[in-house]
Amino acid sequence: MAMTCIGIGSNLGDREGHCREAIARMEQADCRILKVSTFFETNPWGLSDQPLFLNGALTMATSMPPAALFSLLKAIEKAMGRQETVRWGPRVIDLDILLYDDLILHSALLTIPHPCLHERRFALQPLAEIAPDARHPVFDKTVRELLEGVQ
């Protein structure tokens, strides 16, 4: 089983309800949720003129390979009503693979670890709560160390 870290966010409607529904949908698939962080209200990143986000993270074990997990997360987003609009725009739900074991992957479909994880407090803060010693395989730093370096 692979140990994975998933980022969760929402800034439309019942933000916490959407995040919890996404977690329940992951549990119904081949995902064993291990820990779920507190949800934090955060400012939007990349496009500031939109509602505040509620962000969290979870750790889970899965036998799905990365591409299948990515497809599952995108299917959950779509089933929950996420529509592609402007980049970094408002969304009902956003699910991102942050870490997948110690895998480093660059493909046309997917980059693991998430390419902006080390820059995003909204992803690092909840992840540091549940997996502070998880190691970023590119930078060889823990999540805690990455969080300390983010403004």
Annotated active-site residue in 14, 25, 49, 91: 91
Annotated active-site residue in 15, 25, 96, 120: 96
Helix (H) or strand (E) holding 126: helix 121-130
- Residues 17-55 as b or e (16 or more Cβ within 10 Å = b): ebbbbbbebbeeeebeeeebbebbebebbeeeebeebbb
- The candidate with the shortest Cα–Cα distance to 94, out of 2, 34, 3, 8, is 8
82 included as an active-site residue: yes
Annotated active-site residue in 94, 101, 133, 135: 94
91 included as an active-site residue: yes
Q: For residues 83 and 90, give the distance between their C-alpha atoms in angstroms, rounded to a whole number.
A: 9
Annotated active-site residue in 32, 82, 102, 144: 82
Give me the phi and psi of 73, to 5 degrees please. Answer: -60, -40
Residues with catalytic annotation?
Answer: 82, 91, 94, 96
